[in-house]
Amino acid sequence: EKKKSFVSLTWDEEGANYVTKFASIYRVLEFFVRVRVFGTHRSKDIDSIVWLLKMSEDVEMKDQATPSHSVSSLPPSTLHHLKEIASIIETGSYSKEVRRIARALRLTFALRRKLTAPVLSSFLDYVLAPASEPHTRLSSYLPNPKEGDREMEVDTATSVIQTSAAKHLLPELEIYSYLLVLLFLIDQKRYDVAKACSSASIVRLKSLNRRTVDVIASRLYFYYSYSYELTGDLAEIRGNLLALHRIATLRHDELGQETLLNLLLRNYLHYNLYDQAEKLRSKAPRFEAHSNQQFCRYLFYLGKIRTIQLEYTDAKESLLQAARKAPGAAQGFRIQCNKWAVIVRLLLGEIPERTVFMQRGMEKALRPYFELTNAVRIGDLELFRNVAEKFATTFNRDRTHNLIVRLRHNVIRTGLRNISISYLRISLSDVAKKLRLNSASPVADAESIVAKAIRDGAIDASLDHANGWMVSKETGDIYSTNEPQLAFNSRIAFCLNMHNEAVRALRFPPNTHKEKESAEKRRERQQQEQELAKHIAEEDDDDF
């Protein structure tokens, strides 16, 4: 109890007799030593104890009257966390460790919902010199905070040191400040101001050539494009994105190249410029992926391009791989991948499994595609037409309406296959009725459809033009054909591809074949591997 009183007295009381209190505490300690060792004491020691006890009682009564607001009793504020992140960025800049910058960004996105104008203003005062040009420019993008709110956000533990501390002038911290302000403006739906802030940040980035800035720059590129996309002005920055991609290539900024290539592909696909997107993709330099998120986006855009170009097999592989590699937190991205993958598989003549539509959190979003798949599986053209009209708004929003128009031929072919299996001989007029062909001459259309299906090998039948019949042949043994071989070949190729990707993703410590490691080095290596796996998991769970 006495120790608690002494500590509260030392930290709560301030004034001219600050040194006197420490001297009195020293006398108390000396008194206890004398009594414990020598069995004697002095009268001035007793006076010091009486004075300290009286002061501690006053302090305790004061604490009971007014609750304490000391720094230790309060949780760390958002400003305190931002200052810690700034110190991590500063350390990573001086040591040239990019992984520290990446860790700082992961911590930042965890605080994104807590960013306010007073917090950002205080952080800018901490990081940048008040009279500097970056401070003035960034402060102009923020709304004027109230003085009371700003005082509440200031960290009292460092406010005394802040006045005398030197300002940080690192480019990494300046670009990081741009990123924080841009995130705040986008979350506050101030898109016009966000456009101006992102443009200013891109101008500043063009003059910097530091590898420790590349990680922050890649995020700024994304939000630069996103701010213009939110305002519908995405076409304005296409030339600037191409210039930034050229600069990143010359500076060997591979992470920036990945990000900018995906942004350019997104820009072209937004305006349905698939030919230009394919030309850019085919001529852009390719290298090993540095970011799993960017690689997933690239696979998704590649799948969309391949789908439009009627290369359904390659499109299916890219879309399924993108959905498989996407982190669990990126549910919206995985939904989009599954939507396009379902359409592509239907165009290939495959019927997706029911489990695809029953994935957790995706049932409602994939419901229109489930009903569409059911119509294609049955081969009912009327049901297919009703589903397409019922969910036309959803299909137009997903930009899959043109692909669904292509599915009409697959629906007819599926229905025709079911008819050929059920009937040995059937008239063409009955075929037109069962397929529900709404045309001026349904019998002629049914005859052409049947002839094309026979030529393509979809059905095993023949046409009797004189009598107007479709004569089906007996169903043969499928195992006497090459179908099982092709199915096994595709499955084996998939397994081999996955094995090769797993081997390429393995990480080996250097010089393992030259020297044998001791037990201590082995424990240290295992600890580093665990930390690396944790960082990779955190990176995969970032906002997508």
- Say if residue 279 is in the same domain as residue 295: no
Reply yes or no on whether the pLDDT at 273 is more than 70: yes
Counting Cβ atoms within 10 Å, is residue 376 exposed (0-12), middle (13-18) or buried (19+)? Answer: buried
- Say if residue 123 is in the same domain as residue 260: yes
- Say if residue 297 is in the same domain as residue 377: yes
Give the DSSP letter string of 104-146: HHHHHHHTGGG--HHHHHHHHHHHS-TTSHHHHHHHHHS----
Mean pLDDT on 3-28: 46
The pLDDT mean for the chain works out to: 77
The pLDDT value recorded for residue 341 is 92
The pLDDT value recorded for residue 377 is 86
In a domain, 64, yes or no: no
User: Which CATH number characterizes residue 275's domain?
Assistant: 1.25.40
Q: How far is CA 58 from CA 46, 55, 63, in A?
A: 19, 5, 9
Range of the domain at 194: 77-143+169-283
- Say if residue 222 is in the same domain as residue 129: yes
298: closest CA among 328, 333, 248? 333
- Say if residue 253 is in the same domain as residue 324: no
The lowest-confidence range among 48-62, 263-277, 367-381, 436-450 is 48-62
Checking 404-410 for CB contacts under 8 A at 24+ apart, the result is 404/343, 404/372, 406/347, 407/343, 407/346, 407/347, 407/372, 407/376, 408/381, 408/384, 410/346, 410/347, 410/349, 410/376
* Residues belonging to the chain: 544
- Say if residue 116 is in the same domain as residue 223: yes
More confidently predicted of 30 and 472: 472
The lowest-confidence range among 69-83, 179-193, 247-261 is 69-83
The lowest-confidence range among 141-155, 199-213, 243-257, 378-392 is 141-155
Mean pLDDT on 501-511: 71
* Tens digits of residue pLDDT in 172-217: 888 888 888 888 888 888 888 888 888 888 888 888 888 888 888 8
Query: Which strands make up the sheet holding 425-427, listed edge to edge?
Result: 425-427, 469-472, 461-464
The pLDDT value recorded for residue 515 is 56
The pLDDT value recorded for residue 152 is 46
* Tens digits of residue pLDDT in 107-157: 888 888 888 888 888 888 888 888 788 888 888 888 875 544 444 444 443
The pLDDT value recorded for residue 146 is 54
Reply yes or no on whether the pLDDT at 71 is more than 50: no
- Say if residue 115 is in the same domain as residue 263: yes
In a domain, 405, yes or no: no
The lowest-confidence range among 48-62, 99-113, 119-133, 458-472 is 48-62
SS3 178: helix
Checking 540-544 for CB contacts under 8 A at 24+ apart, the result is 540/292, 540/293, 540/327, 540/329, 541/327, 541/328, 541/329, 542/106, 542/109, 542/293, 542/327, 542/329, 543/109, 543/329, 544/293, 544/296, 544/326, 544/327, 544/329, 544/330, 544/332, 544/333
- Say if residue 272 is in the same domain as residue 243: yes
User: Which CATH number characterizes residue 457's domain?
Assistant: 1.10.10
Number of domains within the chain: 3
The pLDDT value recorded for residue 163 is 37
- Give the number of other CB atoms < 10 A from CB of residue 68: 13
Is the pTM value of this prediction over 0.75? no
- Say if residue 460 is in the same domain as residue 438: yes
Out of 386, 408, 441, pick the residue that ends a domain: 386
- Identify the bridge partners of residue 462 per DSSP, sorted by sequence position: 471
The pLDDT value recorded for residue 158 is 43
The lowest-confidence range among 410-414, 512-516, 526-530 is 512-516
* Tens digits of residue pLDDT in 403-449: 888 888 888 888 888 887 777 778 877 777 777 777 777 777 777 77
Place of tokens 């937190």: 329
- Say if residue 295 is in the same domain as residue 359: yes
